[in-house]
Structure 1
Amino acid sequence: MLIPENALRQFAQQVFLAIGCSPEHATLAADVLLKADLRGIDSHGVARLSGYVRLWEKQRINATPDIQIAHETPTTATVDGDAGLGLVTAPFAMEIAIKKAEQFGSGWVAVRNSNHFGIAGYHAMMAAEKDMIGFAVTNASPLVAPTFSNERMLGTNPICYVFPAGEFPPVVVDMATSAAANGKLEIAQRKGSDVPEGWLQDQQGNAVTDPHALKSGGSLLPLGSDREHGSHKGFGLSSVVDILSGVLSGAGYGPWVPPFVAFLDPLPNPPGQGIGHFVGAMRVDGFRPVADFKANMDNWIRRFKLANPIDRAQKVIIPGEPELEAELDRKANGIPLVDAVVEDLNTLAEKFGLERMGNF
């Protein structure tokens, strides 16, 4: 089913309002989710709405948080999200990072006591709008086993860098540090299809392709899949994200990061509070004139787009290009939702007395 962007945005806003969010927070949270859907990252868009509602019902999400700066220097800060939506606390933190960068050249903000923050790209792209390089990472529910282990210790822990350009759109590198994002498993589950080998292992450490393997004690693998194919590199990148997001901020880290699903309780005696994020902004003109940088970025992009392809039918893709193409298409033609997500949203519609998806 294709749903117009504005209709889906309004629905998401109404759900956030229904759980008690302020109009400002409801609008922002909906915007973060819609950005994911528009950019083709369906696993992190409105498909997550019911998950946020269930966590709110379990009193693990505070719909009216008092977000505060807990610690600060001229170029750094730590934000306490008061158990609020990460969709709200992460943009709050990036605004602080941008303001610090405007004054001092760069700004870096850690966040604790937060929740799932949607796509990392949303937050990092905020900096690019100000001619800054944006950076955003977050830790997440422990679903990934470190190299040589079968114990879930890390999240999919995404990393995002955004570099502004001139003639071309920004270069957006937004990726999980696991072999695949958990949302990819959810998409495969909804479609009833297997996933590629190298994404998952069962409880004994054997490679499996069943997208439901996590439910029977399996785990996601780090980027690289196994030691022979470089999983230690994915493990290392994920560790950096976890330390910046959790250890540095005072949030939970490793196996103590709270699970996104409401039926699982966090581990007892956590060393920190909630999920953690880390965002940053660097002024380009702190290094060289913006116009010069953008001219070279355009040249970089142009040259890489002309790289000799293995198959003439498949040209080199610049990071962020597929998502931008999806956004242009979906803004014009609507956002496709699979039946399982439509049913999920209609359940929310009935719960909160909203208009059903089929009526749009």
Structure 2
Amino acid sequence: MNKKKHKQLENTLIISETSLREFTEQVFLTIGCTAAHAKLAADVLIAADLRGIDSHGTARLSGYVRLWQKGRLNPSPEIRIIHETPTTATVDGDRGLGLVVAPYAMEIAIKKAKDYGSGWVAVRNSNHFGIAGYHALLAVKQDMIGYAMTNASPLVTPTFSKERMLGTNPMCYAFPAGAYPPVVVDMATSAAANGKLEIAQRNGYSIPDGWVQTKDGTPSVNPHELKSGGALLPLGGDRAHGSHKGFGLSATVDILSAVLSGANYGPWAPPFVAYLEPHPQPVGEGLGHFLGALRADGFRPLDDFKQHMDNWIHRFKNAEPIDKSQPVIIPGEPERAATIERKANGIPVVKSVFDDLLKLANDLSLPSPNIA
């Protein structure tokens, strides 16, 4: 590697979107994905990097490769509908990349919504699907309300427990607007996503109270706590701050994504990291997702809905702030701002992640990504 090629800012390298996208596509092609699947999978990961959700972008790339190396990920799946009604379907992902399986399922949901007003698709036998927002926004592009959620590796403890039972189980709701950008509520149902811990680990930071507990159930600010048998906490942290609500949201995602579809749920959900083996007695197949598309014009004229979405956004944006230097932030606004900035100036990649990409390039005999 020519070190002069890489612009370094503190512990971060600025990489061009084009270079990072091309490298990611090449990785997926190398493990056996079709050109179309490689392009789509790369698009999902790059979307996360552009939106500032660094924990779910190319930082995850080597994780997919390791799953493939362990034989737990099928790079050329035969994705198919296994159960269907006019407005619903269940999809088997054939152990494929969730980055590919989830958009396939959302397209089915969108088609059903166009025909019948709404479409709902449950997915089983899949893998990690990246950011939920990518899939929900596919519906928004069709002037529909989009829903996307997935269960995940069991790292989160229910309220009052010390046992890992649930994933970070993200959910996203995306609403189209008119003059304003869409409202995108994209969040984990745990107090923090596991990727936030990984970022803190790479940077040597401690984490806030209320994110994790030790294996004995006591609070901790150690970002390495999960490696010692600790657990992430539900959204809210503890009962006094509403962790039972976070637990309820996470349970909802798990049931819709996995119990409904026939995927593994709760503590049986397969881990994303390849060095941990799946549960020896699975209750379903792979990870599960749940995706939906809903036509706003099934309730009122689309233009009316968009006009009032704009009015909603405008009023909330102008709510009187506590501190005038910090106005109210509409869901999805920080991600949109990050996308504009990163498309113009390149994508910041933590050096440890870049080193991981370099190793991946070396292992797969690929050229490494270049700077912006």
Give the TM-score normalised by the residue count of structure 2.
Answer: 0.96
Pairs within 5 Å for 1:87-102: 87-102=99-114
Please name the residue that 1:298 is paired with.
310
Please name the residue that 1:174 is paired with.
186
Please name the residue that 1:319 is paired with.
331
Letter in 2 for 1:296: H
Letter in 1 for 2:163: E
Please name the residue that 2:232 is paired with.
220
Task: Indicate if the aligned counterparts of 2:20 and 2:370 stay in contact, CA closer than 8 A.
Answer: no
CA distance in 2, matches of 1:262, 1:352: 17
Q: Which runs of 5+ in 2 are unaligned?
A: 1-12
Pairs within 5 Å for 1:178-193: 178-193=190-205
Residue 164 (str. 1) matches residue 147 (str. 2) = no
Task: Indicate if the aligned counterparts of 2:264 and 2:285 stay in contact, CA closer than 8 A.
Answer: yes
Pairs within 5 Å for 1:279-290: 279-290=291-302
Cα deviation digits, residues 278-337 of structure 1 (max 9, x gap):
000001111110100000000000000010101111000000000000000000100000
Give the TM-score normalised by the residue count of structure 1.
Answer: 0.99
Please name the residue that 2:51 is paired with.
39
**Per-residue deviation at 1:356?**
2.0
CA distance in 2, matches of 1:287, 1:73: 22
Cα deviation digits, residues 157-211 of structure 1 (max 9, x gap):
0010000000000000000000000010010011011100100000111110110
Residue 111 (str. 1) matches residue 123 (str. 2) = yes
CA distance in 2, matches of 1:231, 1:209: 17
**Per-residue deviation at 1:47?**
0.3
Letter in 2 for 1:278: F
Matched residue of 2:186: which SS? strand
CA distance in 2, matches of 1:39, 1:16: 21
Letter in 2 for 1:325: A
Say how many residue pairs are matched.
360
Residue 27 (str. 1) matches residue 39 (str. 2) = yes
Deviates more, 1:264-273 or 1:88-97: 264-273
Residue 138 (str. 1) matches residue 158 (str. 2) = no
CA distance in 2, matches of 1:247, 1:327: 35
Cα deviation digits, residues 204-246 of structure 1 (max 9, x gap):
1111011000000000000000011110000000000000000
Residue 278 (str. 1) matches residue 284 (str. 2) = no
CA distance in 2, matches of 1:357, 1:331: 16
Q: Which runs of 5+ in 1 are unaligned?
A: none
Identity of paired residues, percent?
A: 70
CA distance in 2, matches of 1:357, 1:284: 42
Matched residue of 2:324: which SS? coil
Runs of 4+ in structure 1 deviating by more than 4 angstroms, as ranges, are none
**Per-residue deviation at 1:145?**
0.2
Letter in 2 for 1:150: K
Please name the residue that 1:240 is paired with.
252
Task: Indicate if the aligned counterparts of 2:172 and 2:186 stay in contact, CA closer than 8 A.
Answer: yes
**Per-residue deviation at 1:359?**
6.8
